[in-house]
Amino acid sequence: MDRKKQAREIFRLLKKSIPEPKTALEFRSVFQILVATILSAQSTDVQVNKITKQLFRKYRSIKAFAEAPLEELQTDVSSVNFYRNKARNIQNSAKMIISGFNGKVPRTMEDLVRLPGVARKTANIILTDGHGITVGIAVDTHVIRLSNRLGLSEHKDPVKIEQDLLEITPEKDWPVVSHLLILHGRTVCNARKPLHENCVLFKICPSREE
């Protein structure tokens, strides 16, 4: 089976087993998904949602994040890894959005990656889940692992894996590719011991005998 056919069958089966693939991060605005995504690096979505539940009640606008005392903001997010740097990036992003983008979160990849703490993966999430604009596929550790295990890419570099996924999947599927792989990676195809008995992809997985 060539790679495009393999991908088509993989995502057909995953969509059957995960009928509503979406991010686990909780948000109500585009800036909130930006904040949540920055906080989620090397932290769990469950932990981030606990923090943002209170954070978004306290800071109700981009201006509020921009004007908050930095030490106070750092304390508010201190239960995630690298909280000092993340809080600084969130605040500086808020300031840049106000000064450089008329208070609106940018709607292009080029502008988003100019914001502190926003790399291509984060920008893809903001565009797809926040703006409803899909120009790429967010690649995190789950997507890297599953792309390799499922034979969708031979690369380890996220940018190269993204290009492979864009090439072999229909554009209409791009908004859900990342969510499907992440959710399957969390619940079934985990890093240490994949749950083969629960895997809808087992019969077509090239790594099933490893």
Tokens 């585009």, residue located: 30
Would you state the pLDDT for residue 210? 61
Tokens 């229909």, residue located: 170
**Is the pLDDT assigned to residue 180 strictly greater than 80?**
yes
> How far apart are the C-alpha atoms of 146 and 4, rounded to whole Å?
16
pLDDT digits 0-9 by tens, 37-56: 999 998 999 999 999 999 99
Would you state the pLDDT for residue 168? 97
**Is the pLDDT assigned to residue 209 strictly greater than 80?**
no
User: Where in the chain are the domains?
Assistant: 3-22+137-204, 30-131
Fold of 30-131: Endonuclease III; domain 1 (1.10.340)
pLDDT digits 0-9 by tens, 119-159: 999 999 999 999 999 999 999 999 999 999 999 999 999 99
Confidence of residue 113 (pLDDT cuts 50, 70, 90): very high
pLDDT digits 0-9 by tens, 72-105: 999 999 999 999 999 999 999 999 999 999 999 9
Sign of CA dihedral 79, 82, 84, 86: negative
Beta carbons of 91 and 66 less than 8 angstroms apart: yes
CATH number for the domain formed by residue range(s) 3-22+137-204: 1.10.1670.10
Residues 160-173, mean pLDDT to the nearest whole number: 96
Question: Which residues are annotated as catalytic?
Answer: 121, 140
- Summary mean pLDDT of the chain: 95
Q: How many helices (H) and strands (E) does the chain have?
A: 11, 0
**Is the pLDDT assigned to residue 1 strictly greater than 70?**
no
**Is the pLDDT assigned to residue 14 strictly greater than 70?**
yes
Percentage with pLDDT > 90 across the chain:
94
Beta carbons of 148 and 158 less than 8 angstroms apart: no
Structure tokens at 112: 């988003």
> How far apart are the C-alpha atoms of 65 and 90, rounded to whole Å?
8
Would you state the pLDDT for residue 22? 93
Beta carbons of 57 and 105 less than 8 angstroms apart: no
> How far apart are the C-alpha atoms of 93 and 90, rounded to whole Å?
5
Structure tokens at 18: 């995960």
**Is the pLDDT assigned to residue 175 strictly greater than 80?**
yes
Residue 189 main-chain phi, psi, to 5 deg: -90, 60
Would you state the pLDDT for residue 8? 95
> How far apart are the C-alpha atoms of 26 and 55, rounded to whole Å?
12
**Is the pLDDT assigned to residue 24 strictly greater than 80?**
yes
Residue 108 main-chain phi, psi, to 5 deg: -130, 150
Structure tokens at 201: 């992809």
